Each structure stands twice: as structure tokens, then as C-alpha cells.
């Protein structure tokens, strides 16, 4: 929808957006860049799990931020707050704001939750305020905030290059329904890349046409230390019969994909096998249309 059409939208009660998680369907490390980052080629897709972010205006210049997760930082340590400040510095902000974030994604899961929340803040401000005219004007701000943030502005499966900030939408032709396993502990992203750099070797290629071969080059280094993740991937592939199973990004989430949605009995089996500490959810890969539809769904956790 164009900004002019959005200008006719009733925004008096604020804007609430769904901030989807992502999974990495392929992650190839192409070398080390002069800026210290790794050059990547990675395929990412938004999924039907995510947070919800609401922004409303109020009289006065103050910006208020609240989150239902007390462990998340506020102020400039929070990507949502940084995104709002960056938007204000770049385009101006002529009203006060109240920002509410409902966290549904676990921290440190490698699902891009913080980056997605930041992108949702930029998109919500554009809808609420009616500017900038083009969504593309938000891309430089997104790249400043983090490598994954531009992807979440696109909101559809994409092939990403550079640090991950160069986003080229590309349909995902493989299975779309999945089961996600998060063990309850994070894998620090800097550590994962440092471990890869100490012993660089490609991940195991898997998959069949039209989506394969694909791989995650961080898996060998991460699996050597985090045996739970290797066991989870093997369980999804061998015991649960997934068409594709792999670690997302640098972890610590692992997912399996099927042509049809996994039934509740598979969730029960996974919970019994991995224990109560594991965060286990079914999901679907989103297209742009399904992502937009989710933005207007009620929050089941209200």
C-alpha cells in the first residue's frame, strides 16, 4: 500500500505490527572482509513465529518504551529504541510516542528477534507518520542497526550477501512447514564465527532439487562444542523424518521442514526426548502476503 493510501488509514490508536522470526535455509562463508566481518551468502525466510510491536503517538515530546520481558534492556541498548532514535534523527519526529513490545521469541535463539523488532519499529513509524515516501529510504537506517535488519524490511524469503545486509528477494521452493527446537541456551554469534575461523570447513550439503544442495558452514564448529544441537538436528532428520534439518544461523535454534504441517504428536515426542527446558514450536515459512496477513491477527497471548 502506498504512503498516500496509508495516510487515509486510521492511526489514531497506533500501529501494531507482527515482527516475524527468521530461519537460515543456507549459510555459506565466502571469506573475511577488510572490515573484519565475514562475507556471506545466506538464504533467509521469515516464519510464523514472532513478537508484536505497537507504536502510538501522544501529545508532548517524550518517547516511552515498555516491554513485557524484564530481562530486555531499555534505552540505547535496545534495538527498538535505537531504531526510533535513528528514524527521528533522519526524518524528524514531531510527536511523542509510546512503544510497547510483546516478546514471544526467546533471546539468543538465532532467530533474529531483536533485528525484526527494530525493523518493525521503522515500518510502524512510517505507517504512523506517513513518511518517508519509500520503504527503500529505511534501508540505510536498517543496515546501520544490524546485518539482519534490512532483511526484515523486505518481509519475504531472500538471498542475502555482504554481511547479510544486501537483500535480493527470491522464492523458497522447498518444504514450508517446520518444527523449531531451541535448547534454552544461546550460542554467542562472535564465538561461532571465531570458532569457524580457527578451523574453516564447509558444512554438510543436503537437500534435493529444487531447494538443494544447501548447507550451514557454521555447523561443524558449533556442533563440536554444543552436542545438543547436533543431536537435535540428527533427531529431526532421522527420527522425525524431516525433508530438511539444519541449524539456523549461528544457533542455537535447530529446525526441520516438511511438506505438510507437523502434527501435535511430533511436538509431544520432541518434548519427551529433549526435556522441559527446550522451547519447541511448529511454524510455517511466510510469503510476503502471509506476512502481511499476520500483522492484523490478534495476539493469542493477550
Separation between Cα atoms, residue 155 and residue 120, nearest integer Å: 10
- The upper half-sphere exposure of residue 52, i.e. CA atoms within 13 Å in the direction of its Cβ, equals 15
Separation between Cα atoms, residue 23 and residue 71, nearest integer Å: 24
Q: And the C-alpha cell for 129? A: 507518520
Integer-rounded Cα radius of gyration of the chain: 19
Rounded to the nearest angstrom, the gap between the alpha carbon of residue 44 and the centroid of all alpha carbons in its chain is: 9
219, 204 Cβ separation under 8 angstroms = yes
273, 265 Cβ separation under 8 angstroms = no
- The DSSP letter of residue 108 is T
Q: And the C-alpha cell for 61? A: 515530546
Catalytic residues: 22, 148
Query: Is 130 buried (19+), middle (13-18) or exposed (0-12) by CB count in 10 A?
Result: middle
Amino acid at each position: 500500500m502506498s504512503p498516500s493510501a496509508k495516510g487515509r488509514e486510521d492511526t489514531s490508536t497506533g500501529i501494531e505490527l507482527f515482527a516475524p522470526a527468521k530461519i537460515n535455509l543456507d549459510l555459506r562463508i565466502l571469506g573475511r572482509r577488510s572490515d573484519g566481518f565475514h562475507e556471506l551468502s545466506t538464504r533467509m525466510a521469515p516464519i510464523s513465529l514472532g513478537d508484536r510491536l505497537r507504536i502510538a503517538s501522544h501529545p508532548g515530546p517524550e518517547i516511552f518504551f515498555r516491554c513485557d520481558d524484564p530481562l530486555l534492556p531499555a534505552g540505547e541498548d535496545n534495538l527498538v529504541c535505537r531504531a526510533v532514535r535513528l528514524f527521528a534523527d533522519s526524518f524528524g519526529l514531531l510527536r511523542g510516542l509510546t512503544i510497547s513490545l510483546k516478546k514471544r521469541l526467546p533471546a539468543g535463539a538465532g532467530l533474529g528477534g531483536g533485528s525484526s523488532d527494530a525493523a518493525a519499529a521503522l515500518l510502524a513509524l512510517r505507517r504512523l507518520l506517513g513518511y518517508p515516501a519509500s520503504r527503500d529510504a529505511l534501508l540505510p537506517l536498517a543496515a546501520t542497526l544490524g546485518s539482519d535488519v534490512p532483511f526484515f524490511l523486505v518481509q519475504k524469503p531472500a538471498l542475502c550477501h555482504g554481511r547479510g545486509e544486501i537483500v535480493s528477494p527470491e522464492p523458497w521452493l522447498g518444504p514450508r512447514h517446520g518444527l523449531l527446537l531451541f535448547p534454552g541456551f544461546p550460542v554467542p554469534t562472535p564465538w561461532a564465527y571465531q570458532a569457524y575461523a580457527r578451523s574453516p570447513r564447509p558444512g554438510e550439503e543436503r537437500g534435493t532439487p529444487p531447494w538443494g544442495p544447501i548447507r550451514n558452514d557454521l555447523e561443524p564448529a558449533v556442533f563440536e562444542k554444543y552436542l545438543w544441537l547436533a543431536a537435535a538436528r540428527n533427531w529431526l532428520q532421522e527420527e522425525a523424518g524431516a525433508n530438511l534439518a539444519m541449524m539456523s544461523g549461528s544457533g542455537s535454534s535447530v529446525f526441520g521442514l516438511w511438506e505438510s504441517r507437523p502434527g501435535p504428536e511430533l511436538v509431544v515426542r520432541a518434548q519427551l526426548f529433549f526435556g522441559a527446558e527446550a522451547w519447541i514450536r511448529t511454524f510455517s515459512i511466510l510469503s510476503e502476503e502471509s506476512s502481511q496477513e499476520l500483522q492484523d491477527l490478534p495476539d493469542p497471548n493477550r
